[in-house]
Structure 1
């Protein structure tokens, strides 16, 4: 699995700021709707439900919110870079500015976990996060994310 199979260029966005974690989840839902045709209310509800199980802020300014969506056919992703970090109840209590949301079909067992592991591995690389934070162009962010994996695999 490659990031380019779950993330489309139109699913990458720079947002100047989000007033709260809840607002950010709504932004992710809106992006999932425009890029992948997912019902935004359903996406937000699923993300919020998942957050009640435990926060998806993994530390170092990175959050990986994810949820399962009924009737979705493939695992898909959305990416938001915040210009101003927001509190996300992260494990290290640091605000987040790099957010990669994943949506998986209800029935996607191992595929969902593979996608989550792939995104987690990619965003664990501090050099990649540094490059992401240094760019405010969505196309450049997409390239950094999708090329990072190719370089890692080589």
Structure 2
């Protein structure tokens, strides 16, 4: 099942790139991610996605520091990897490792059995978000289109 073409630019749909999302809490951010994925593909149950994201957060926060979170989970019956990129209107507390509130979120939902791909994508994301200039560029975006474009150009 290993797929070398599995990179950030082919898992992030423009419809799942959202700019300045109003979210008051970590729970609301995760609910919003689940709702958006369901909205884009109604065969996927938003409650299942939300429950899996929350279960993963219970193992340890996906807030990686510097205002960035990469919530992720596996989903039974999923046949592809789904990415959701969001900037938040206001930073929210995400129990991040550096205790900084989060305003940049990239969620990853992967098929139940995709282990190596999952880890590979997480490491690609962590590497990108390690670049503070790139993160700043994403934070400056004022609409979903420019946010998606910035993410894509960085993935080339």
Asked if these proteins are the same fold (TM beyond 0.5), I'd say yes
CA distance in 1, matches of 2:64, 2:114: 22
Note the C-alpha offset of 1:3: 1.3
Note the 1:103-114 alignment, pairs <5 A: 103-114=109-120
Matched, 1:25 2:46: no
Note the C-alpha offset of 1:115: 1.2
CA distance in 2, matches of 1:64, 1:34: 20
CA distance in 2, matches of 1:35, 1:136: 22
RMSD over equivalenced CA pairs, Å: 1.1
**Unaligned stretches of 5+ residues in structure 2:** 1-5
Please give the TM-score of this superposition, normalised by the length of structure 1: 0.93
Matched, 1:34 2:39: yes
Tell me the equivalent position of 1:47.
Answer: 53
Note the C-alpha offset of 1:16: 4.0
Matched, 1:101 2:107: yes
Tell me the equivalent position of 1:14.
Answer: 19
Note the 1:38-117 alignment, pairs <5 A: 38-117=44-123
Corresponding pairs, count:
150
Verify the 8 A CA contact 2:141 2:147 in the aligned structure 1: yes
Please give the TM-score of this superposition, normalised by the length of structure 2: 0.92
CA distance in 2, matches of 1:47, 1:131: 27
Give the 3-state SS of the residue equivalent to 2:59 in structure 1: coil
Tell me the equivalent position of 1:131.
Answer: 137
CA distance in 2, matches of 1:115, 1:36: 21
Note the C-alpha offset of 1:92: 0.3
More displaced 10-residue stretch of structure 1: 10-19 or 139-148: 10-19
Note the C-alpha offset of 1:23: 0.8
CA distance in 2, matches of 1:35, 1:140: 20
Given the superposition, is the C-alpha separation of residues 71 and 138 from structure 1 closer, same or farther in structure 2, using an over 3 Å criterion? same
